[in-house]
């Protein structure tokens, strides 16, 4: 059996066209090697919405290659596929497919990223302008096909969904650039009255997202279970929440804020005789009386046992190979903390052959909007030995070492404790 990888589902629209010749070569090699059959498969290295309808072109081409790997011609197949699939609208559908290929240059990750984390090079801006033009043309072609009511009509809905996401992504980049220009004028002391215009644009982005979500739900239920779409709905909702926060910040005068988590990854320093894969952390801190709420979030690489003032709080469990987003947990610790001295203690293990690492962040809220943070930083203590009562407030940790900050190739967005939204971890 030979596997033919027909599409990379990481892109807004799978770039099947770029895989035609590799597919043909692979099929020829498999036939020469005496393969008994072919398995066509989609692959993906990031979270993204993928419909079976997006794969039909690749599946059909893989089938043609499997049937006759030496005689199939991509150009002839292209014409035949669209004619068979879309009838009299085949030529326009083929044009639409060609216009949508630019979507393959942009990953779903760009759609989910926090807006203020977007960073485009000059080359990227060139691609974005091209995408903007192509999406406008694609929308025009789709509008011209609205009268089509044959079997192909439903297939166009999936392409329309892809165009909606592409146009929204362009608008996202344009809006962020507009906000940055606006902030630069403010920093230079230049008077500007563009805040209300930017807020209105942000509100339009949120409204457009709502329309995309409604479309996604309708399309998904055609051939999938409703519960399977919940993860993608959460990602769209998260993006909407980001823009709502940006609107609130702009209205309060804080145009550009840093959304990144300020806490650091920490680990045990490399010391002879210490298993860095199983270590212990402690942090003692003082709280003034009068706090009304306290929250804590922990991210593990890969397993944590968290204690507050000697009492077990919870575990953060991540099986080897699971995504970073599954390694986040948050709690309301208002009742676990007290005025005066407190201690947070963490047992950490790594099951992937690396140093056990911890990223901890907390917020303590007082009246009148005042607050303080608790964050893992170089001043935490660590040990490779489990000692009696090491979790307790009165434990004497003077002989414990200072932690070593660790660099991870991920970006972590601040949590929203009030909204019960944990940090999102974005791979770089």
Average pLDDT over residues 190-217: 91
pLDDT at position 342 is 98
pLDDT range class, residue 193, cuts 50, 70, 90: confident
CA dist., res. 195 & res. 198, Å (int): 5
CA dist., res. 194 & res. 183, Å (int): 10
Asked if residues 361 and 263 have their Cβ atoms less than 8 Å apart, the reply is yes
Which candidate, 254, 125, 258, 137, places its Cα nearest to that of 195?
A: 254
User: Which of 68-77, 283-292, 406-415 is modeled with the greatest confidence?
Assistant: 283-292
39 is written with which tokens? 């398995």
Tokens 């692979």 belong to residue:
26
Give the pLDDT confidence of 234-276 residue by residue, as tens digits. 899 999 999 999 999 998 888 878 999 999 999 999 888 889 9
pLDDT range class, residue 62, cuts 50, 70, 90: confident
| pLDDT above 80: residue 53 | no
List the chain domain ranges.
2-252, 265-426
| pLDDT above 60: residue 46 | no
Query: 79 or 7: whose pLDDT is higher?
Result: 79
pLDDT at position 40 is 62
pLDDT at position 148 is 59
Domain range 265-426, CATH class = mainly beta
Q: Does domain 2-252 have CATH number 1.20.120?
A: yes
User: Which stretches within 101-229 are classed as H helix?
Assistant: 108-112, 122-144, 153-187, 195-220
Asked if residues 181 and 77 have their Cβ atoms less than 8 Å apart, the reply is no
CA distances from 330 to 149, 213, 306, 381, 407 (A): 50, 27, 11, 22, 22
Query: 52 or 114: whose pLDDT is higher?
Result: 114
pTM: 0.86
Q: State the average pLDDT for the chain.
A: 86
Tokens 């980001």 belong to residue:
242
Query: 342 or 92: whose pLDDT is higher?
Result: 342
| Percent over 70 (pLDDT), the chain | 88
CA dist., res. 109 & res. 427, Å (int): 9
């Amino acid at each position: 059996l030979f596997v033919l990888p027909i599409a990379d589902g990481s892109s807004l629209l799978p770039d099947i066209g770029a895989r035609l010749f590799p597919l043909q070569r692979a099929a020829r090699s498999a036939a020469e090697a005496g393969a008994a059959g072919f398995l066509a498969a989609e692959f993906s290295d990031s979270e993204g919405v993928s419909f079976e309808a997006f794969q039909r072109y690749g599946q059909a081409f893989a089938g043609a290659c499997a049937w006759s790997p030496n005689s199939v011609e991509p150009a002839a197949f292209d014409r035949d596929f669209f004619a068979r699939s879309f009838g009299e609208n085949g030529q326009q559908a083929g044009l639409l497919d060609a216009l949508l290929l630019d979507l393959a240059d942009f990953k779903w990750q760009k759609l989910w990223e926090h807006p203020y984390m977007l960073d485009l090079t000059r080359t990227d801006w060139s691609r974005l302008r091209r995408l903007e033009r192509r999406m406008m043309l694609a929308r025009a072609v789709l509008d011209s096909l609205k009268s089509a009511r044959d079997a192909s009509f439903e297939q166009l809905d999936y392409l329309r969904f892809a165009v909606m996401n592409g146009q929204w992504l362009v608008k996202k980049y344009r809006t962020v650039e507009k906000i940055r220009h606006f902030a630069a004028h403010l920093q230079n002391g230049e008077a500007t009255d563009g805040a209300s215009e930017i807020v209105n644009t942000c509100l339009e982005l949120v409204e457009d997202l709502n329309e995309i979500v409604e479309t996604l739900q309708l399309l998904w239920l055609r051939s999938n279970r409703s519960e399977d779409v919940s993860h993608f709905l959460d990602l769209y909702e998260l993006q909407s929440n980001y823009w709502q926060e940006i609107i609130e910040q702009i209205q309060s005068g804080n145009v550009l804020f840093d959304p990144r988590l300020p806490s650091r990854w920490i680990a045990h320093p490399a010391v002879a005789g210490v298993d860095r894969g199983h270590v212990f952390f402690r942090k003692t801190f003082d709280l003034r009386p009068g706090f009304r709420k306290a929250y804590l979030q922990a991210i593990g690489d890969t397993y944590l046992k968290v204690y507050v003032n000697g009492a077990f709080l919870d575990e953060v469990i991540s099986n080897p190979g699971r995504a970073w987003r599954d390694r986040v947990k948050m709690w309301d610790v208002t009742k676990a903390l007290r005025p005066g001295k407190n201690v947070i203690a963490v047992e950490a293990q790594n099951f992937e052959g690396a140093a056990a690492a911890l990223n901890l962040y907390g917020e303590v809220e007082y009246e009148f909007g005042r607050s303080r943070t608790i964050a893992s930083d170089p001043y935490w203590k660590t040990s490779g030995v489990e000692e009696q009562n090491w979790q307790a407030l009165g434990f004497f940790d003077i002989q414990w070492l200072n932690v070593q900050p660790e660099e991870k190739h991920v970006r972590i967005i601040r949590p929203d404790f009030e909204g019960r939204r944990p940090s999102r971890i974005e791979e770089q």
